Amino acid sequence: PVAKPPPPPPPPSPRATTPITDYCSESITYRVAECYVSLESLEEPEFDDKYTDYANMRQLTAEYRVAWTVEGDASDGIISMMLQARTTGWVGFGLMGEKVGHGMINTDIWMGNVIDGVVAVHDTWSNSVAMPLKDIDFGHEEDLYDVSGYEENGITTLMFKRSLKVSDDWDYTIVEGDMPVVYSWSRQNKDALSYYHGPTRGFDTLVFIEPTDLSWIWLIALPIVGTVMLMIILFCFVDRIRSRRLRQMAEQRFNEIRQQVNKHVDGAQPRMCFGMALVTAFDFMESGKLVSHEELRNQGKIKMLDTHSQAKSLAKEFSIIFISHQWLSWTKPDPEGVHFKCIVNALRALSKRFNFELEKTYVWVDYCSIPQGNSLLQQLAISDLSEYAALASYFVVVVPPARHVDTHTICNKESYQARGWCRLEQFAK
C-alpha cells in the first residue's frame, strides 16, 4: 500500500503589534514586535478627586492642576493650596507679582516633593534663571505651614497653607483679581529640587480672590456723574474765549522771561567744578573696550582741561566728540563690547563725512571721563555735564539693540529716551 503524505505544517502565527503612543499629537500607531503590550499599560494615571475638598480648581494642563480655598478677608485671611502633577518628582508653583516678565525673575515660588512618604514644601525666591533660593536660608520667613501630601499612582500631591498678606519682600501678597503665575514639575521624576524642569512648565493667570462687586455704586453715582459732566461742558464752553486770551498772555510772559534768562546766561562766566577729561580718538580705539577713567589716567592717556576757557580753546583746534549711551549692566557700561564697536564705527564715519582728522580728535565718554572710584569727584564731574555737552563738536547717541546683562531687558532707542541721565545729556547739548 502507498503511504499517505504528512499533513502540511500550520501557518505561522502573525506577529504581535505593540501600540506606540505619540504624546505630542495624542495619536496611536503600531509596529511589528515580538511581544504583546496592552493599551492599558500605556495610559496616563488619572488624577484623584482630592480637588473636591477645595472651593476652586484649575486644570492648567493635562499634566498639572491646582486647587485652592480662601478663608477670611484680605488683611488677615489664609489660602489653602493643593498642587498635583503627573510625576513622582518635585512640583513647583509661583507668583510673578504685578509685572509679568521672565518666569524665573523676581518670582515667589513654592516647590516640594514626597520622598519615602515624607512631604516637604519650601517657600523660595527666584531672582535669576537658576535654582530658587529658600527664604529661610537667607534671613527671610518660611510662610508655608500645615504641609502635607502624598505620592500615589504616579501623581504627586502637595498641600499647604499661607497667609494672604505678607510683609517679607521675598513674598507676594495675594490680592483680588488677576495674578500671573508660573508652574513646573520634574519631567524625569526627579526629587532633587535642583533638577531642571525642561519643557514641563508654563505661565497662566489665576483669580484667587474674586474682585469686589461694585456695580451697585453706579446706580447712585450715574446721576451725579451726569450732572458733573454737564457742568464741566458748560464751564468749558464759557471759558473757551477767556482761556484763549490767557494763553496769549502766558506765552507773552514766557517769552519775556526767556529773553531775560538768556541775557543773564550769555553774560555769565562759565565755570567747571571738576574739569573736562578727554582721551584721544586713537588711544580710545586702541584700548579695544571701554576703559575706566582711573585706568586711563594711570596710563597717562587722559587730557585734563581744568577750566572752561581751556576746553573752549581746545575745541577751536580739535574736534571733541561727546558719546551718549545707556549702560548695559549695573557695574560695567559695556560688558560684551557692543557699544564700543559702534562708537569706533561712528568715529570713523564722522571723520570721513565731515572731513576731520582722527589724529586731532578727542573723545568724551562717561566711563572714561568721569571718576568711577571717588564718589565726591564723580559728583563734581556730573555737575559739569552740561558744559561737556555744550563744548562738544559732535554729539553721538549710541543705541544699538542690546540686552541688559542684569535685567535681561532690551536696550534700544526707546529705553535710551526713557533714561533721565541720557535725556539730561541731550538737553545740555
pLDDT tens-digit profile of 176-187?
Answer: 889 999 999 998
DSSP state of 135: G
Could you tell me if 272 and 384 are in contact, meaning their C-beta atoms sit under 8 angstroms apart? yes
Domains of the chain with bracketed CATH: 56-209 (2.60.40.1210), 276-427 (no CATH)
Query: Is 334 a residue whose pLDDT tops 70?
Result: yes
Amino acid present at 366 = D
pLDDT value for 347: 94
Q: Are strands 155-163 and 78-85 parallel, antiparallel or unpaired?
A: antiparallel
**Per-residue burial over 382-416, b = 16 or more CB atoms within 10 Å of its CB, e = otherwise:** bebbebbbbbbbbbbbbbeebebbeeeeebeeebb
Query: Is 216 a residue whose pLDDT tops 90?
Result: no
Express each pLDDT in 131-174 by its tens digit. Answer: 899 999 999 999 999 999 999 999 999 999 999 999 888 999 99
C-alpha triplet 385, 400, 429: angle, nearest 5° = 25
Give the separation between CA 110 and CA 149, rounded to whole angstroms. Answer: 14
Taking the alpha carbons of 232, 237, 241, 242 in that order, is the dihedral positive or negative?
negative
pLDDT value for 408: 92
- What one-character-per-residue DSSP string does 26-64 give? TEEEEEEESS---GGGGSPPPP-SGGGGSSEEEEEETTE
Cell 499634566 belongs to residue: 63
Which of the two residues, 385 and 30, has the higher pLDDT score?
Answer: 385
Query: Is 389 a residue whose pLDDT tops 50?
Result: yes
Express each pLDDT in 221-268 by its tens digit. Answer: 778 888 888 888 888 888 888 878 877 887 787 677 656 655 544 555
pTM of the model: 0.44
Query: Is 45 a residue whose pLDDT tops 90?
Result: no
pLDDT value for 421: 65
pLDDT value for 27: 41
Q: Which three cell numbers stand for residue 264?
A: 543773564
Query: Is 419 a residue whose pLDDT tops 90?
Result: no
Q: Which three cell numbers stand for residue 382?
A: 556730573
